[in-house]
Structure 1
Amino acid sequence: MSTEIRLAGPEEYDAVGELTVEAYTHDGFVRGDYAMTLRAAADRAAKAELWVAADGDGLLGTVTYCPVGSVYREIGRDDEGEFRMLGVAGRARGQGIGRALTERCIERTREQGLRRIVMSSAKYMTTAHRIYERLGFVRIPERDWAPIPGVDLYAFALDV
């Protein structure tokens, strides 16, 4: 069955929010009120770009691409694309969904004529780090940060 990468439709927002929470909760990555932010897929679709991977059986994963001007941007500069909240459904792990969604974000950055894409990832998300590094992302430690105490985020970048 083939996988399609596309923008989420309004009828999918609730399911996308639940998929994102499930993906982060599965790995123990939800702290504090972050589950509410992860669940707010309709808000992300309105203020950023909400991408999904899907097949004939439903949603496989999601990512939020944050164009210049989006309130969802965290570390992106005006000449950089940015993405965040990448999550893959349990049934789809190990099938390249995270990589495909990341590649879509890289392509969106190129489409917008930006020179680089950046993102933040919690220091303990080592599986995700391996995906990013295989795609050519490099750490940019000078832009590491912590949204709340105890949640240390590594910054990554890829020149496109």
Structure 2
Amino acid sequence: MDFEIRTAREDEYERLGEITGQAYTGDGLLDLNDDDHYLNVLRDVAGRAADGEVLVAVRDGEVLGGVTFAAPGSRLADIAGPHDAEFRMLAVAAGARGQGVGEALVRACAERARALAGVTALVLSTQPAMRGAQRIYERLGFVRTPELDWSPLPALTLLTYRMEL
């Protein structure tokens, strides 16, 4: 691994917000006509850092991607129960894909979850079209939890996954 995973610094928030927004819009995962509000949420790394831990993958000072880790009780959690940690908004810059960045960020979330007393699982939500990410989740031991699937918008159902720790 020729990059490091660490907590994002404030001077990296803007770049990570750009990467996250581009990942969702560039991959056709966000229809700006329907939900430009969510694009602002994706870009608001400072807002996420206030209630969770934003991790970045960095190589030679360049942000390659990031993810938001939400400990139990965080307002950022969508589906987590009282003993679950959750991660959200996993994004990798287009030029850094296929290099293990996404998997390393997910592994870092799992390590953080294991380090928290009382946390027994790590959970996440994903769009059906995020097949590459789903392959990473399954390879790392996450299993589908269709009973927790949910819809933040009328035309969008999110799939959920869980990894027992």
Task: Give the TM-score normalised by the residue count of structure 2.
Answer: 0.94
- Partners of 2:89 and 2:103 in 1: how far apart? 13
1:43 to 12, 22, 47: 47
Where does residue 21 of structure 1 map in the other structure? Answer: 21
Counterpart CA distance in 2 for 1:129 and 1:153 is: 12
1:72 matched residue in structure 2: 76
Tell me if 1:142 matches 2:157.
no
Whether 1:99 aligns to 2:109 is: no
Q: Report how many aligned residue pairs link the two structures.
A: 160
| Equivalent position amino acid for 2:111 in 1 | E
Identical-pair percentage: 45
Deviations 1:31-90 (A, max 9, x none): 312101100000001111110000005011100001112111000011011001000001
Two-structure CA RMSD over aligned residues (Å): 1.1
What is the one-letter code of the residue matched to 1:15?
A: R
Moved over 3 A (4+): none
Aligned to 1:127: 132
The AA in structure 2 aligned to 1:77 is G
CA–CA distance in 2 between the matches of 1:115 and 1:72?
18
Which SS does the other structure have where 1:146 is aligned?
Answer: strand
Q: How many angstroms apart in 2 are the aligned matches of 1:10 and 1:48?
A: 14
TM-score normalised by L of structure 1: 0.97
- 2:28 maps to a residue whose letter is G
Partner of 2:160: 155
Structure 2 gaps of 5+ residues are none
Q: Which amino acid aligns with 2:65?
A: G
CA separation in 2, counterparts of 1:130 and 1:151? 20
